[in-house]
Amino acid sequence: SSMPGGILRRSDSIADMMPEALRQSRYQMKRCFQSYVSKGRRLMKNRQLVEELERSADDKLEKAKLAEGFLGYVICSTQEAVVLPPLVAFAVRTNPGVWEYIRVHSGDLSVEQVTPADYLKCKETLFDDKWARDDNSLEVDFGALDLSAPHLMLPSSIGNGTQFVSRFMSSKLGGKPENMKPLLDYLLALKYRGEKLMISETLNTADKLQTALLLAEVFLASLQRNTPYQKFEQKFQEWGLEKGWGDTAETCGDTLNCISEVLQAPDPVNMEKFFSRVPSVFNIVIFSIHGYFGQEKVLGLPDTGGQVVYILDQVRALEEELLQRIKQQGLNITPKILVLTRLIPEAKGTKCNVELEPVEHTKHSNILRVPFKTDDGEELRQWVSRFDIYPYLERYAQDSSVKIVDILGGKPDLVIGNYTDGNLVASLLSSKLGVTQGTIAHALEKTKYEDSDVKWREMDQKYHFSCQFTADMIAMNTSDFIIASTYQEIAGSKEKPGQYESHYAFTMPGLCRYATGINVFDPKFNIAAPGADQSVYFPFTEKEKRLTELHPQIEELLYSKEDNDEHIGYLEDRSKPTIFSMARLDKVKNITGLVEWYGQNKKLRDLVNLVIVGGLLEPSQSKDREEIEEINKMHSLVNKYQLKGQIRWIKAQTERVRNGELYRCIADTRGAFVQPALYEAFGLTVIEAMNCGLPTFATNQGGPAEIIVDKVSGFHINPLNGKEASDKIAGFFQKCKEDPIYWNKMSTAGLQRIYECYTWQIYATKVLNMGSMYGFWRTLNKEERQAKQRYLQMFYNLQFRQLVKTVPKLGEQPAQPAECT
Residue 809 contacts residue 391 (beta carbons within 8 Å): yes
638 binds, among ligand UDP, ligand LCN, none (CB under 5 to 8 A by kind): none
Return left, alpha or beta for 569; rule: phi > 0 is left, psi -120 to 50 is alpha, else beta: left
Q: Does 306 bind ligand LCN (CB under 6 A)?
A: yes
E strands, 152-264, where?
Answer: 191-192, 195-196
CB 703 → ligand LCN: shortest distance, Å?
6
CB 440 → ligand LCN: shortest distance, Å?
8
Q: Which is nearer to ligand LCN, 286 or 508 (CB)?
A: 286
Residue selected from 91, 338, 582, 730 as contacting ligand UDP according to rule CB under 6 A: 582
Q: Does 307 bind ligand LCN (CB under 6 A)?
A: yes
743 binds, among ligand LCN, ligand UDP, none (CB under 5 to 8 A by kind): none
CB 599 → ligand LCN: shortest distance, Å?
26
| Nearest-10 crossing angle of helices 419-433, 465-478 | 40
Burial of 418: CB neighbours in 10 Å, binned 0-12, 13-18, 19+: buried
DSSP designation for 446 = G
With the C-alpha atoms ordered 769, 773, 774, 775, is the resulting torsion angle positive or negative? Answer: positive
Q: How far apart are CA 659 and CA 664, in angstroms?
A: 9
Which helix (H) or strand (E) element contains residue 68? helix 60-68
CB 306 → ligand UDP: shortest distance, Å?
2
Q: Does 535 bind ligand UDP (CB under 6 A)?
A: no
Stretch that binds ligand LCN, among 249-257, 540-548, 679-687, 788-796 (CB under 6 A): 679-687
Residue 108 contacts residue 19 (beta carbons within 8 Å): no
Q: Does 384 bind ligand LCN (CB under 6 A)?
A: no
CB 677 → ligand LCN: shortest distance, Å?
8
CB 590 → ligand UDP: shortest distance, Å?
12
Q: Which is nearer to ligand UDP, 413 or 586 (CB)?
A: 586
Residue selected from 443, 583, 667, 773 as contacting ligand LCN according to rule CB under 6 A: 443
CB atoms within 10 A of CB 77: 22
Look at residue 227 and give its three-state secondary structure: coil
554 binds, among ligand UDP, ligand LCN, none (CB under 5 to 8 A by kind): none
715 binds, among ligand LCN, ligand UDP, none (CB under 5 to 8 A by kind): none
Stretch that binds ligand LCN, among 136-144, 181-189, 612-620, 678-686 (CB under 6 A): 678-686
Q: Does 499 bind ligand UDP (CB under 6 A)?
A: no
Residue selected from 103, 121, 316, 442 as contacting ligand LCN according to rule CB under 6 A: 442
Q: 104 has which bridge partners?
A: 88, 111
446 binds, among ligand UDP, ligand LCN, none (CB under 5 to 8 A by kind): none
**Which residues in 706-735 contact ligand LCN (CB under 6 A)?**
none
Q: Which residues contact 722 (CB under 8 A, 6 or more apart)?
A: 593, 596, 597, 600
**Which residues in 603-662 contact ligand UDP (CB under 6 A)?**
613-614, 652-654, 656, 659
Q: Which is nearer to ligand LCN, 246 or 417 (CB)?
A: 417
Residue 558 contacts residue 611 (beta carbons within 8 Å): yes
Residue selected from 680, 688, 706, 819 as contacting ligand LCN according to rule CB under 6 A: 680
**Which residues in 651-670 contact ligand UDP (CB under 6 A)?**
652-654, 656, 659
Q: Which is nearer to ligand LCN, 516 or 685 (CB)?
A: 685
Q: How far apart are CA 547 and CA 664, in angstroms?
A: 10
CB 309 → ligand UDP: shortest distance, Å?
4
Q: How far apart are CA 581 and CA 614, in angstroms?
A: 8
Q: Does 682 bind ligand LCN (CB under 6 A)?
A: yes
Q: Which is nearer to ligand LCN, 105 or 448 (CB)?
A: 448
Stretch that binds ligand LCN, among 180-188, 213-221, 557-565, 675-683 (CB under 6 A): 675-683
688 binds, among ligand UDP, ligand LCN, none (CB under 5 to 8 A by kind): ligand UDP
Residue selected from 604, 684, 751, 770 as contacting ligand UDP according to rule CB under 6 A: 684
Q: Does 299 bind ligand UDP (CB under 6 A)?
A: yes
Stretch that binds ligand UDP, among 70-78, 232-240, 579-587, 778-786 (CB under 6 A): 579-587
Please report, for the chain, how many H helices and E strands are present, in that order: 31, 25
Which residue's Cβ lies closest to ligand LCN?
306
Q: How far apart are CA 245 and CA 229, in angstroms?
A: 9
CB 359 → ligand UDP: shortest distance, Å?
16
CB 489 → ligand LCN: shortest distance, Å?
9
Q: Does 311 bind ligand UDP (CB under 6 A)?
A: no
Residue 784 contacts residue 290 (beta carbons within 8 Å): no
Q: Which residues contact 158 (CB under 8 A, 6 or more apart)?
A: 96, 97, 152, 487, 490, 491, 520, 521, 525
Burial of 742: CB neighbours in 10 Å, binned 0-12, 13-18, 19+: middle
The distance in angstroms from the start CA to the end CA of the chain is 47
Q: How far apart are CA 124 and CA 515, in angstroms?
A: 13
654 binds, among ligand LCN, ligand UDP, none (CB under 5 to 8 A by kind): ligand UDP
Stretch that binds ligand LCN, among 212-220, 304-312, 503-511, 661-669 (CB under 6 A): 304-312
Rounded to 5°, angle at Cα 695 from 692 and 699: 110
What is the layout of strands, in order, in the sheet containing 436-440? 356-358, 365-371, 336-343, 283-287, 414-418, 436-440, 481-484, 525-527
CB 444 → ligand LCN: shortest distance, Å?
11
Q: Does 821 bind ligand LCN (CB under 6 A)?
A: yes
Type of residue numbered 787: A
**Which residues in 485-544 contact ligand LCN (CB under 6 A)?**
485, 530
Q: Does 752 bind ligand UDP (CB under 6 A)?
A: no
Give per-residue burial for 200-238: e unless 16+ CB within 10 Å, then b.
Answer: beebeebeebbebbebbeebbeeeeeeeebeebeeebee
Q: How far apart are CA 688 and CA 530, in angstroms?
A: 11
Q: Does 684 bind ligand LCN (CB under 6 A)?
A: yes
656 binds, among ligand LCN, ligand UDP, none (CB under 5 to 8 A by kind): ligand UDP
Residue 44 contacts residue 131 (beta carbons within 8 Å): no
Binding site for ligand UDP (CB under 6 A): 299-300, 305-306, 309, 582-584, 613-614, 652-654, 656, 659, 682-685, 688, 820
Binding site for ligand LCN (CB under 6 A): 305-307, 310, 442-443, 485, 530, 680-684, 821
